[in-house]
Amino acid sequence: MTIQNDSTTITLYAGRRVIVVGLGRSGMAAAHALRDGGATVLCWDDGEAARTTAASDRFDIVNPTDSGALDGVACMILAPGIPLTHPRPHPAVKAAHDAGVEIIGDIELLFRARPAARYVGITGTNGKSTTTALIGHILTSAGIKAAIGGNIGIPALSLPDADVYVLEMSSYQLELTPSPAFDIAVLLNITPDHLDRHGGMPGYVDAKRRILRPRTADSLSVIGTDSEITAEIAADLRGRNPAGIAEIGRTSQPVADLIANGRCPAIAGDHGIQNAAAAFAVAKRLGLTDADILCGLETFPGLAHRQERVATLDGITFINDSKATNAEAAARALSAFDRIYWIAGGRDKNDGYAPLDSYLPRVRQAFLIGEAADAIDLWIAGRIPTTRSGDLSAAIHAARAAARNDDNPGPVLLSPACASFDQFPNFEIRGETFKNIVLALPATTRIVHGAKEAA
């Protein structure tokens, strides 16, 4: 059986042996791209099902920890989900180090194979998917031959040839990209996340900061200054290369006025202004006119599960922010709206809810679901009314009933501040469940909104 493949072709390792470790979407895209380019590709995954699928597509399955398995291997392509350093290196990583085999990721492979293209990289603890999609929308709307992917949507090595690659970069992917790859790098914010994978906060900051290594003397770093850590990074770079940095935040113009005036319906709140300001700075550096950029901002449809307006039923808007799996992300949603009927809860990440404290006055009532209901209720401590709804369906119906009794209701907002794994396999299914329930509600007046899928 041959698996359908839309990958590009990578000839860098033609006639040589390479090994791909981790056979998810990005790993299989790399394996196909390398084999199509003439390399002998070995594959490994700790999961038997993934190995079986790769073997059925005529890839050789080789455990890199076996004696002699890496003899003559030129390079290891490591999937970003596999630990490179922390909490401990994967055995395949140790085997590669012992054999003197270089370890890189798929983004590095794309960069080496397509050096003539321009590269825009976007990272940050929160907001990077939306900003990546927004930049891609602005560029393609203006007729630029751009490809959008990486950590969002399409794996890098399944992207079509492009003049500009717009790539969302996770901290894991940045660890596996040794080259200074980006003509324009965007660092939105840094707050604690994935600390186990980076050995603590300093390691996480170092991984994120890797995106700012300039590819050329003309490279631009676009840095959000609304978070303390990135503001300090911006100050450091400003002192060394003021011409190579653009600082953006919640007051950046002209996007702040555009959003305040309602001209960008899919962009809201202070974080939305920062995302839009980053996109504006990137597009300007790439030579777009203000008119083209503003057109892209105004027509951006948003992303699924990220403050996604689902529908307005009898004057009440339902918003799906299922991607908000921590308090920092949920705070961005609460900051963007008023008189909120808030659905929160899931599996507690044990990070606390303090980032939400200043936004509770915006909430009319909270409807708590999942394992974290007790912890969230304890944190709220009577500051706003709460209802223990238990599950998502009950929360939606209760929130709608409460909003109907409000003379001037704000949105019913799913922004859980928690992981989904107590009741759903992932945040996407949680968000789709929310949308399906909302769209099935009876209503006298109904406006259905839309957003792009992130993947």
397 as an active site residue: the answer is no
Same-domain pairing of 313 and 439 = yes
Same-domain pairing of 86 and 178 = no
Burial label for 361, CB within 10 Å (0-12, 13-18, 19+), is exposed
Assigned domain for 7 exists: no
DSSP character at residue 452: B
Same-domain pairing of 139 and 215 = yes
Same-domain pairing of 237 and 349 = no
Same-domain pairing of 57 and 123 = no
Same-domain pairing of 281 and 160 = yes
The one catalytic residue among 32, 90, 128, 271? 128
Summarised one tens digit per residue, pLDDT across range 277-332 is 999 999 999 999 999 999 999 999 888 999 999 999 999 999 999 999 999 899 98
Q: What pLDDT is stored for residue 144 in this prediction?
A: 97
Same-domain pairing of 56 and 92 = yes
The CATH number linked to 224 is 3.40.1190.10
Assigned domain for 66 exists: yes
Same-domain pairing of 207 and 281 = yes
Same-domain pairing of 166 and 230 = yes
The CATH number linked to 53 is 3.40.50.720
Give the Cβ contact number of residue 372 at 10 Å: 23
Instruction: Provide the number of structural domains found in the chain.
Output: 3
Assigned domain for 10 exists: no
Q: pLDDT 10s digit of each residue in the chain, 455 long?
A: 333 345 579 999 999 999 999 999 999 999 999 999 999 999 999 999 999 999 999 999 999 999 999 999 999 999 999 999 999 999 999 999 999 999 999 999 999 999 999 999 999 988 899 999 999 999 999 999 999 999 998 999 999 999 999 999 999 999 999 999 999 999 999 987 777 888 889 999 999 999 999 999 999 999 999 989 999 999 999 988 888 999 999 888 888 888 887 788 888 888 899 999 999 999 999 999 999 999 999 999 888 999 999 999 999 999 999 999 999 899 989 999 999 999 999 999 888 999 999 999 999 999 999 999 999 999 999 999 999 999 999 999 999 999 999 999 999 999 999 999 999 999 999 999 999 999 999 999 999 987 666 64
CA–CA gap between residue 260 and residue 393 (Å, rounded): 33
Task: Indicate the residue among 299, 316, 336 that finishes a domain.
Answer: 299
Assigned domain for 6 exists: no
198 as an active site residue: the answer is no
194 as an active site residue: the answer is yes
> How many angstroms separate the first and last alpha carbons of the chain?
25
- Beta strands 220-224 and 184-187 are parallel
Task: Indicate the residue among 104, 131, 162 that finishes a domain.
Answer: 104
The one catalytic residue among 5, 63, 86, 194? 194
Same-domain pairing of 293 and 313 = no
Assigned domain for 184 exists: yes
Task: Indicate the residue among 254, 277, 299 that finishes a domain.
Answer: 299
Assigned domain for 162 exists: yes
What pTM was estimated for this model as a whole?
0.86
Same-domain pairing of 146 and 283 = yes
Assigned domain for 318 exists: yes
Same-domain pairing of 337 and 421 = yes
Summarised one tens digit per residue, pLDDT across range 100-140 is 999 999 999 999 999 999 999 999 988 899 999 999 999 99
Provide the residue range defining the domain that includes 138: 109-299
DSSP character at residue 417: S
The one catalytic residue among 151, 189, 275, 320? 151
CA–CA gap between residue 93 and residue 43 (Å, rounded): 14
CA–CA gap between residue 102 and residue 93 (Å, rounded): 10
